[in-house]
């Protein structure tokens, strides 16, 4: 394929640039889901159950908004304005951003069933993990913004930061699993807490995968 027929060529076209701006809106909404998930975890750790439920409701609301943006982008891409390789990459990115919102919603849905106290150590580890995930989401937003501005160097730097944060998340998951064994919880609550930890790791992985897709788009544009 001719070099001019890549995503940067299309950046000059009004319709295609609007799609990339919609992708930025999508990542911003997905980031809101992750932020509210972190707030829900923090409220849970501090024993503020009413606040926890409020943040859970916010995650669900943002996830719904993100799903509407996903549908809009999918419809626009189906019109065939992009060359097939670029269209496929953007469709996959669109679904990847939706996976981020779904992951955040999955965590708070599990939190809805959990009102018991956990140890301070466990709570701090869980909150730290959620903060790592949020930071990765923020880096993803910056990477998409850099793609739109054609700042490929910044895009690559942000994607490298995402990889580092994903590795930190893996380390934190291992600490949490070790801590889980020390918790004095019932079997059902132990299972739920394990699922929360596991879903948070999956969420961090989803952010990394989305970052990988953004990096692919950036490299293609060079």
CA–CA distance, 206 with 76 (Å, rounded to integer): 23
DSSP codes of every residue in 35-63: HHHHHHHHHHHTT-HHHHHHHHHHHHHHH
CA–CA distance, 12 with 43 (Å, rounded to integer): 45
Tokens 């150590």 found at: 121
Cα distances (Å, whole numbers) of residue 218 to 57, 153, 222: 35, 9, 7
CA–CA distance, 28 with 181 (Å, rounded to integer): 36
CATH topology for 3-220?
Methane Monooxygenase Hydroxylase; Chain G, domain 1 (1.20.58)
Which tens digits make up the pLDDT trace of 9-32? 444 455 556 777 888 899 999 999
Q: The tokens of 25 are what?
A: 């809106």
Which tens digits make up the pLDDT trace of 35-59? 999 999 999 999 999 999 999 999 9
- Supply angle C-alpha 210, 215, 218, rounded to 5: 130
Domain ranges of the chain: 3-220
Which tens digits make up the pLDDT trace of 75-108? 877 775 555 456 778 888 889 999 999 999 999 9
Q: How far apart are the first and last CA of the chain?
A: 14
CA–CA distance, 85 with 6 (Å, rounded to integer): 9
């Amino acid at each position: 394929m001719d070099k001019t027929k890549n995503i940067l060529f299309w950046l000059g076209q009004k319709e295609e640039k609007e799609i990339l701006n919609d992708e930025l809106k999508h990542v911003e909404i997905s980031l809101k889901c992750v932020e509210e998930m972190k707030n829900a975890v923090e409220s849970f750790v501090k024993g503020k159950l009413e606040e926890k439920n409020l943040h859970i409701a916010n995650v669900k609301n943002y996830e719904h908004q993100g799903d509407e943006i996903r549908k809009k982008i999918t419809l626009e891409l189906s019109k065939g304005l992009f060359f097939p390789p670029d269209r496929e990459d953007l469709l996959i990115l669109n679904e990847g951003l939706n996976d981020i919102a779904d992951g955040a919603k999955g965590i708070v849905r599990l939190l809805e069933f959990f009102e018991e106290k956990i140890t301070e150590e466990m709570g701090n580890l869980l909150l730290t993990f959620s903060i790592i995930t949020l930071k990765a989401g923020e880096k993803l937003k910056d990477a998409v913004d850099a793609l739109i501005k054609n700042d490929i160097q910044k895009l690559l730097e942000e994607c490298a930061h995402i990889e580092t944060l994903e590795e930190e998340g893996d380390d934190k998951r291992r600490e949490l699993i070790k801590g889980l064994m020390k918790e004095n919880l019932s079997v059902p609550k132990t299972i739920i807490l394990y699922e929360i930890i596991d879903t948070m790791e999956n969420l961090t992985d989803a952010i990394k995968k989305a970052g990988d897709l953004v990096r692919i788009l950036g490299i293609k544009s060079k």
